[in-house]
A and B are shown apart, each in its own frame.
Chain A
């Protein structure tokens, strides 16, 4: 597909550039001095290269953040060790990290699934809110249901509401060809204000001035694993969802179609895949996963929706997690736990070293920037020597 690299450059070098564009001064050509170092596009990028590149990027992130901490006047060793202590230092904090990672795994998967299919669902945040609304809607509609059935119904409600909210964007995309990046971003705000309206209107708890719902009945609480931790079944649901996503993408025809439209939409449609159906389906799956995250937070932790519900930006963080994990379901679990550990440990770090907890957001941003750059960089290699026409044959090294 994009083998261009070597052969075409060789053509240019040989002066037989029949119709190929003249050279300019972008980075690649600037580095391509006849005898100097030059960047060369790899014909094949092995998964291990991507892994190494990601690890290197994260290591550089750690160094940069260490320098930043030094700049603030704290020893990076103290900062990182208190961060680690707060995140994984003892049983209590380690379990709390898993609690925090639960919604992030689900929104991370939501983003990963959609991005794999080349559909830019930036609406995880809105679908997360939609899921919480769906959960409470089912709770509100069927007060008489016995607890186990009600919990299942609420989880389904969350998934359906998340999927519906994602479908708004995907239908606009396949019907009117509106850019899904822009519509999902807009829809995040729309549902935010819709929730605000619900909370100050029909769903507002009586006898309180706050914008919040009634506290949900105790039989709707997701069971907890241990007496001494808030870790709830939502975490298991998240892990099952990750396994489901992995299986779906690798082993089902639907997953194959999602990956196919992600690699090359036109080729996929020539092969007979109905790309419109696939796009709607993948957005629905993605929205359902984000919606489940909303249900987990509501039923496992908060038990009521209030105006702070969306403030942690779980959906947006999910996007970062998916990208740092290079869209891999297992990677999503690992990165989500790491990010949750950062958030969890930051409180400890702020108390014992005085470094603002906002450092976590900086870490997330720097890590993402570097991982993205690394992902591009590992598609190239640095070579020395003249460009030879016969190099087009080599692909493995």
Chain B
């Protein structure tokens, strides 16, 4: 146990925290925008898996990681588009549609992967050269802080930058405010002539793109390969983070880092063979999320029309 509290172990935990938080943060800020338009996209897990796969596929075929990211965005957008068609146009129950696309995403990625790479039962998994970390000049020289925050992947910096941008978009731009109005009161927006469906499409597809990029972080920056269980519940954690953060971008950042920290700590505990129930740390994000739902209920910022499909002329 004394060994556990050494400088290198603790620094390692913080570096890992930021890495683990990255895909969660990217997917969660995307989901925040989608949910702001009143559409709960439960298919994050499947969308991230598709993104991780299409990203890997394109990177592996073209040899370019950046094209891989484009592929991941396209894969996520495709599933987001399907989600938008089902919920905004056809008005299928959002929960059910999300679960359906989740299955489709997981199964589709797995099937596609097996069809492309599993010819004749080859054992060797294909890999791509991963993204290198990018050290920010000067800032990365700061002891400890530099290593934790300023020697990370491009996607990590992107994720952090997206937090204030998402806030500004949702609270300070006309389009973002209209989006949030739709999430709260679509009928009023309809009367004011704000096109509901087009905005919901934009928001949900954007959420899909972000989830795809979050998945690609795992396949292109972390693993350098794809395997069917690569997302391993992170899509659901990202959903939890949006709730934990009470639909606010800044608290989503806090939530991502907190949940990332718990995961990093439990990994480190296991690696060091410290005899503590690491499962508690893994379960804690979900328990905290339920607690947040209960304690935030009086000041909840949940979009009021979330999961309620809007039919004109009906109540």
Contacts and interface: CB of A to CB of B under 8 A. Distances in A.
A83 B111 CA distance: 16
A356 B118 contact: yes
Nearest to A169: B290
Contacts of B282: 189, 193, 196
B103 to A, nearest CB: 4
Given A21-B190, A27-B89, A193-B283, A323 B96 contact: yes
A184 B191 CA distance: 36
B115 A376 contact: no
Given A4-B314, A26-B89, A361-B106, A185 B293 contact: no
Interface in B291-315: 293-294, 297, 302, 307, 311-314
A147 interface: no
B236 to A, nearest CB: 6
B290 A365 contact: no
B254 interface: no
Nearest to B106: A361
B92 interface: yes
Interface in A59-105: 72
B313 A20 contact: yes
A331 to B, nearest CB: 16
Contacts of A4: 313-314
A118 B174 CA distance: 36
Contacts of A21: 187, 190-191, 312-313
Contacts of A22: 191, 193
Interface string B84-111: 0010011111011101110111111011
Interface residues of B, number: 57
A364 interface: yes
B246 interface: no
B41 interface: no
B313 A373 contact: no
A361 B96 contact: no
Contacts of A197: 277, 279-280
B287 A190 contact: yes
Contacts of B277: 197, 201
Given A8-B313, A183-B290, A358-B114, A316 B99 contact: yes
Interface residues of A, number: 57
B299 to A, nearest CB: 13
A196 B279 contact: yes
A362 B108 contact: yes
A122 B96 CA distance: 10
Contacts of A193: 279-280, 282-283
Most-contacted residue by chain B among A190, A364, A365 (CB, 10 A):
A365
A369 B114 contact: no
B233 A369 contact: no
A335 B199 CA distance: 37
A386 interface: no
B103 A320 contact: yes
B293 A179 contact: yes
A339 to B, nearest CB: 11
Contacts of A190: 283, 286-287
B95 A356 contact: no
A42 to B, nearest CB: 14
A107 B277 CA distance: 30
A365 B90 CA distance: 17
12 contacts: A25-B195, A26-B197, A176-B297, A196-B282, A323-B96, A360-B107, A361-B103, A361-B106, A365-B101, A365-B103, A372-B93, A376-B90
Q: What are the 5 A-B residue pairs with the smallest beta carbon separation, nearest first?
A: A361-B107, A365-B104, A356-B114, A193-B283, A358-B110
Interface of A: 2, 4, 8, 20-22, 24-29, 72, 120, 122, 172, 176-179, 181-183, 185-187, 189-190, 192-194, 196-197, 200-201, 316, 319-320, 323, 355-356, 358-366, 368-369, 372-373, 375-377
Interface of B: 40, 42, 82, 86, 89-93, 95-97, 99-101, 103-108, 110-111, 114-115, 118, 187, 190-191, 193, 195-197, 228, 233, 236, 239-240, 243, 277, 279-280, 282-283, 286-287, 289-290, 293-294, 297, 302, 307, 311-314
